[in-house]
C-alpha cells in the first residue's frame, strides 16, 4: 500500500462518513469510493460497511486502519528527524492547550510564530488541563499548556500567573454576597480548580451559595456576569482593563495572599529537540518579556 492509501484509510476511520472524508482528501465521493474498493480488493476483504448512517469498520478494517495509523506516525517522525537536519523550521507543531489560554493568550503567540516561520504548520487541541495531560502521555502532541499545578516528570516551564477575582455588576465587597439572592454563576472546569474555589468559599462564608447556575464555557460565564445575571469567579486572563461596568474583587487565601492560577508549558525531552518546538518556545519567551 502507498502512503496516500494509508492516509485515505486513516481519514475514513476518523470521519466514518464518505462525504466528509472526500472533502478532507479533496477528492469526489465516487473517486473515493472507487479507491476504497481497490484497497479492499487488494486486501481480499471488506474494511468498511456502508449504510445510510455512515461507515462502520469491520474487524479486518480495524486491523488495517491500525497498521495505517502506525505507518503514518512513523512516517511523520522520520520527516521530523529529516527536517531537524535543515536550518529552516519545518514540520507540524502539535500543541494541546487549556481552553482559556487557547482563547485569550495563545493566538498572539501563534501569529508571531507563523509570521516568522511560514514553512511550519500548527495542529492545536484545546480542552481541560486533565485532557491536555492525557494527550501528552499518549504522545499525540509535542507540548501541552495547562493550568494549575501539574504532576509532570518531563520538561516543565512556568509561563505566568493570573489572579482570581469575584466579578459582579452590583456588589463592591465580599460582605454583600451573603445578603444577595442573585445566583453564583460557575463554569465547568477541572476538579482541582473547582476544589480551589470551593475551599475559598467555605473559608470565607462557611456555607454554600444560595443559588447557582452552571454553564459549559468560561466565556459564557463571563458574559452572564457582565450582563448582570449574577456574579462569578474568573481568572484575570479573561478580564480586560477597559471593562469599567463590572466590579472586580480579588480573592485572598487564609494568609491574605492573592489566590492565583499558574500556567505551564510541558513536554518530553525528545519534543524539545525538534526545531519547531524550540522556535515556538523562543516566541513564547519573547511574548512573556513583552
pLDDT given for residue 119 in this prediction: 85
> 130: buried, middle or exposed (CB in 10 Å: 19+, 13-18, 0-12)?
middle
Query: What confidence tens digit (pLDDT) does each residue in 199-219 have?
Result: 899 999 888 888 999 999 899
pLDDT at 46 over 90: yes
Q: Which residues make Cβ contacts (< 8 Å) with residue 161, sequence separation at least 6? A: 260, 261, 262, 263
Mean pLDDT of 18-33: 92
pLDDT at 151 over 90: no
Q: Which residues make Cβ contacts (< 8 Å) with residue 151, sequence separation at least 6? A: none
Query: What whole-number percentage of the chain has pLDDT above 70?
Result: 97
pLDDT given for residue 83 in this prediction: 67
Say whether 93-159+262-289 and 3-84 share the same fold: no
pLDDT at 59 over 60: yes
CATH assignment, 93-159+262-289: 3.40.190.10
pLDDT given for residue 19 in this prediction: 92
CATH class, domain 3-84, is mainly alpha
Mean pLDDT of 270-278: 91
Mean pLDDT of 234-256: 88
pLDDT given for residue 84 in this prediction: 64
pLDDT given for residue 1 in this prediction: 57
Question: Domain extents for the chain?
Answer: 3-84, 93-159+262-289, 161-261
Query: What confidence tens digit (pLDDT) does each residue in 66-106 have?
Result: 999 999 888 888 877 776 666 578 788 999 999 999 999 99
Residue-averaged pLDDT of the chain: 90
**How far apart, in Å, are the Cα atoms of 73 and each of 3, 77, 267?**
11, 6, 18
| Lowest mean per-residue pLDDT among 20-24, 196-200, 222-226, 241-245 | 241-245
Reported as a pLDDT band with limits 50, 70 and 90, residue 47 is very high
> CATH second-level architecture of 161-261?
3-Layer(aba) Sandwich (3.40)
- Higher-confidence residue: 56 or 85? 56
pLDDT given for residue 49 in this prediction: 94
Query: What confidence tens digit (pLDDT) does each residue in 109-143 have?
Result: 999 999 999 988 999 999 999 899 999 999 999 99
The CA distance from 1 to 272, in Å, is: 33
> 129: buried, middle or exposed (CB in 10 Å: 19+, 13-18, 0-12)?
buried
- Higher-confidence residue: 182 or 79? 182
Amino acid at each position: 500500500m502507498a502512503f496516500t492509501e494509508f492516509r485515505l484509510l486513516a481519514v475514513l476511520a476518523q470521519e466514518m462518513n464518505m462525504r466528509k472524508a472526500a472533502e478532507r482528501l479533496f477528492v469526489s465521493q465516487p473517486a473515493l469510493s472507487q479507491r476504497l474498493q481497490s484497497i479492499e480488493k487488494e486486501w481480499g476483504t471488506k474494511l468498511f460497511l456502508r449504510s445510510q448512517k455512515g461507515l462502520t469498520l469491520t474487524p479486518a478494517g480495524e486491523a488495517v486502519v491500525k497498521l495505517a495509523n502506525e505507518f503514518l506516525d512513523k512516517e511523520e517522525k522520520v520527516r521530523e528527524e529529516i527536517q531537524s537536519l535543515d536550518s529552516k523550521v519545518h514540520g507540524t507543531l502539535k500543541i494541546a492547550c487549556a481552553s482559556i489560554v487557547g482563547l485569550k493568550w495563545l493566538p498572539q503567540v501563534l501569529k508571531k510564530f507563523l509570521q516568522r516561520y511560514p514553512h511550519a504548520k500548527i495542529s492545536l487541541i484545546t480542552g481541560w488541563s486533565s485532557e491536555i495531560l492525557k494527550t501528552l502521555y499518549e504522545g499525540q502532541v509535542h507540548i501541552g499548556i495547562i493550568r494549575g499545578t501539574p504532576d509532570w516528570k518531563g520538561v516543565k516551564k512556568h509561563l505566568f500567573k493570573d489572579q482570581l477575582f469575584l466579578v459582579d455588576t452590583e456588589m463592591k465587597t465580599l460582605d454583600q454576597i451573603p445578603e444577595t439572592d442573585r445566583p453564583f454563576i460557575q463554569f465547568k472546569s477541572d476538579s482541582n480548580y473547582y476544589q480551589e474555589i470551593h475551599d475559598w468559599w467555605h473559608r470565607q462564608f462557611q456555607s454554600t451559595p444560595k443559588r447557582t447556575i452552571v454553564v459549559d464555557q468560561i466565556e459564557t460565564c463571563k458574559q452572564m456576569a457582565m450582563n448582570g445575571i449574577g456574579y462569578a469567579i474568573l481568572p484575570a486572563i479573561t478580564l480586560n482593563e477597559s471593562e469599567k461596568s463590572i466590579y472586580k474583587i480579588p480573592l485572598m487565601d487564609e494568609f491574605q495572599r492573592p489566590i492565583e492560577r499558574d500556567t505551564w508549558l510541558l513536554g518530553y525531552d525528545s519534543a524539545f529537540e525538534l526545531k519547531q518546538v524550540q522556535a515556538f518556545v523562543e516566541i513564547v519567551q519573547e511574548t512573556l518579556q513583552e
